Structure 1
Amino acid sequence: MNSYDKTHALMQRGRDFLGTEHAILCGAMSWVSERNLVSAISNAGGFGVIACGAMTPDLLDTEITETKARTDKPFGVNLITMHPDLNDLIAICAKHEVTHVVLAGGIPPKGSVEAIKDFGAKVIVFAPTLALAKKLLRSGGDALVIEGMEAGGHIGPVSTSVLAQEFLPVLAEDHLVFVAGGIGRGEAIAGYLEMGAVGVQLGTRFACATESIAHENFKKAFFRANARDAVASVQVDARLPVIPVRALKNNGTQEFTDKQREIAGSLDREEVAMAEAQLQVEHYWAGALRRAVIDGDVENGSLMAGQSVGMVKAEEPVADIMAGLMGECEAALARR
């Protein structure tokens, strides 16, 4: 049995909060973070998170049920704050007594945090600025994830290392802060834990695990890629504030640029309202991701990946990935 005494000591607050052996969350990756990967993460001592994404309430209901059938360990659900059925999705989480709900994609709508806390769940929030982080924690957030621009999927403009230096000295003593974005090895985990983080979140490192249902073509694209292949999308119209998305460069990257122009044209002609235009962008990503992850269309689908993709070289069981990260972290702390 491996001993991770130094790592577990620094992770203790995060472990207590999550109810897990290791304070390592798996980032919610649409189409990838589903019942198989989520349960494998939790069974390996980490904290799996179902990516609700564009799911309907019925689909989320089924996904939680199937995840529970595969693990008796804690796991969470990630909900997108702009989802039109957010209240119904929260009700599904309440029905299943989900212990932790992650609110991502924007400022939580009024009443959503209270609705989650009403059924006893913990709320995990994201914040790109220190001021917003303080506000969300005051407003009921139980823990915070700071995610740098090295991450895959939707990203902010600031690097993980800078966010950590800005947030952790101010917040770590009184709040639970997890660090995410570009983390691929245990040595990096050790550094953030020493700075005051209670744990970390990784997505890209787990995307190609043996238990991931991602298509063989999707996984091979990851194995071929290096850090500079994971590029951020470009916003083409200032009226359509698109959160940049980091993905491997392919035909789909250009298609998204074209899609923005198409939606901007609809705005020009007043055919859609701004909220609807932004939802169209989210639906585009859901479809593009499915083409890559499920159908294996790695030319036209979206290959969302963080810059740590260069550290993903082979398919490995989740338990091996977890043990490797924990072992690297423990060794780094032991060298201090």
Structure 2
Amino acid sequence: MPGAGSGHSRLAELMRRGTDFLGCDTAIMGGAMSWISERNLVSAISNAGGFGVIACGAMGPDLLDTEIAETKKRTPRPFGVNLITMHPQLAELVDVCTRHGVGHVVLAGGLPPGGAIERIKAGGARLVAFAPALALAKKMIRSGADALVIEGMEAGGHIGPVSTSVLAQEILPEVARDVPVFVAGGIGRGEAIAAYLEMGAVGVQLGTRFVCATECIAHANFKRAFIRASARDAIPSVQIDPRLPVIPVRALKNREMERFAAKQREVAGSLDSGAIEMAEAQLQIEHYWAGALKRAVIDGDVESGSVMAGQSVGMVKREEPVADILRELIDEAAAALSSRG
């Protein structure tokens, strides 16, 4: 932890449980963002003292195997892998993580299928689970989760219905003594990090702040859209048909956000006609988002692609190295703690 002042010492103390759990210097996790949280950004976050997390997303086992191997070439520091619970090859992806000796597996997207948690733990990894509600937090702990991420609706990408500040107040007092808890969603400055640590969190997770890192492979157009945006530009998608449960996605408003409504109507029509089952309908929506996100991140099409961003996007001011982003966050958090005596 840089600096020797009382604020930095207090920050290190409040983060110690998190840094011990992750095996890093600073308990700041990189949010797993598809197409973005790959070998370059993940290794840069870990090399700078944070904890990078690979976004497996829709990758198959072979692609994930390559991504982990390439990340290991770029950093000797610990990093994690985020797996989506609805992935049809989840068991094989867990086996890839086990073969590589990945120390932390992050499960996102709801309750995992039977046997997944046991498979992860048997492979020697620590399990980090997302918990968007207190009841689910307690259930994941009973099921064997070693740590939790509580992420509020201010986050980018798939979001729940409750704000970060409310989730933190509801969940931290109940479970923070039992397992390490990381807070995520809408965090863009160190003062917020300090506040959540004082509430009982052991660390935080940030995604949006890292998109404009020099080491991030996102297209220049994608980064420019972030730098120009304000918090109110990052809006959630709207569910068109109540019969088709679609998890809202937060992204910068553009033509793509309007087109998603048409896509939902198309899929709902197929569901009504019996052409597809509900599981296939939901998978079609997920594949749609994956393709739209790739168009924006990789191809730079920020109008017909999905520019997923959290509401902290207004705090992204420039492109800069990961190490500078982390240093600024740490110094801000330490200054806030120091000012409180």
- TM-score scaled by length of structure 1: 0.99
* Aligned-residue offset at 1:300: 0.5
CA distance in 1, matches of 2:286, 2:293: 11
Cα distance between partner residues in 1 of 2:97 and 2:263: 33
CA distance in 2, matches of 1:169, 1:106: 22
Q: Equivalent residue for 1:44?
A: 48
Gaps of 5+ in 2: none
Partner of 2:213: 209
Q: How does 1:1-336 map to 2 (within 5 A)?
A: 1-3=2-4, 4-336=8-340
SS in structure 2 of the partner of residue 146 of structure 1: strand
Amino acid at match of 1:152: G
SS in 1 for 2:74: coil
The structural deviation recorded for 1:119 is 1.0
Cα distance in structure 1, aligned partners of 2:58 and 2:212 = 22
2:162 counterpart letter in structure 1: V
Kept after mapping to 1: 8 A contact 2:37/2:55: yes
Shift in Å, 1:2: 2.5
Alignment partners' CA distance in 1, 2:120 and 2:131 = 18
Distance 1:115 1:32 in 2: 27
Shift of residue 6 of structure 1? 1.1
Verify the 8 A CA contact 2:95 2:123 in the aligned structure 1: no
Counterpart-to-counterpart distance in 1, 2:87 and 2:309 = 23
Question: SS at the partner of 2:106?
Answer: strand
1:294 Cα deviation from its structure 2 partner: 0.1
| TM-score (normalizing by structure 2) | 0.98
* Whole-angstrom CA distance in 2 between matches of 1:229 and 1:325: 23
Shift of 1:217: 0.2
Deviations 1:23-43 (A, max 9, x none): 000000000000000000000
Aligned mates of 1:86, 1:237 — CA distance in 2:
29
2:222 and 2:307 in contact (8 A); partners too:
yes
The amino acid that maps onto 2:151 is: E
Aligned-partner Cα distance in 1 for 2:204–2:38: 20
Could you tell me how far 1:174 is from its partner in structure 2?
Answer: 2.0
The alpha carbon displacement at 1:313 in A equals 1.0
Superposed displacement of residue 323, structure 1: 0.3
1:246-269 residue CA offsets vs partner (Å, 9 max, x unmatched): 000001101111111111011011
Q: Distance in 1 between matches of 2:35 and 2:212?
A: 12
Number of residues paired by the alignment? 336
Distance 1:135 1:170 in 2: 13
- 2:49 and 2:325 mapped to 1: Cα distance? 11
Q: Deviations over 1:91-114 (max 9, x none)?
A: 111110110000001111110010
SS in 2 for 1:25: strand
Consecutive unaligned residues in structure 1, runs of 5 or more? none
Cα distance between partner residues in 1 of 2:115 and 2:320: 41
CA RMSD of aligned residues (A): 0.7
Which 4+ runs in 1 deviate beyond 2 A? 1-4
Distance 1:277 1:208 in 2: 33
Measure the CA separation in 2 of the matches of 1:2 and 1:34.
30
Distance, in Å, in 2 between the alignment partners of 1:240 and 1:105 is 17
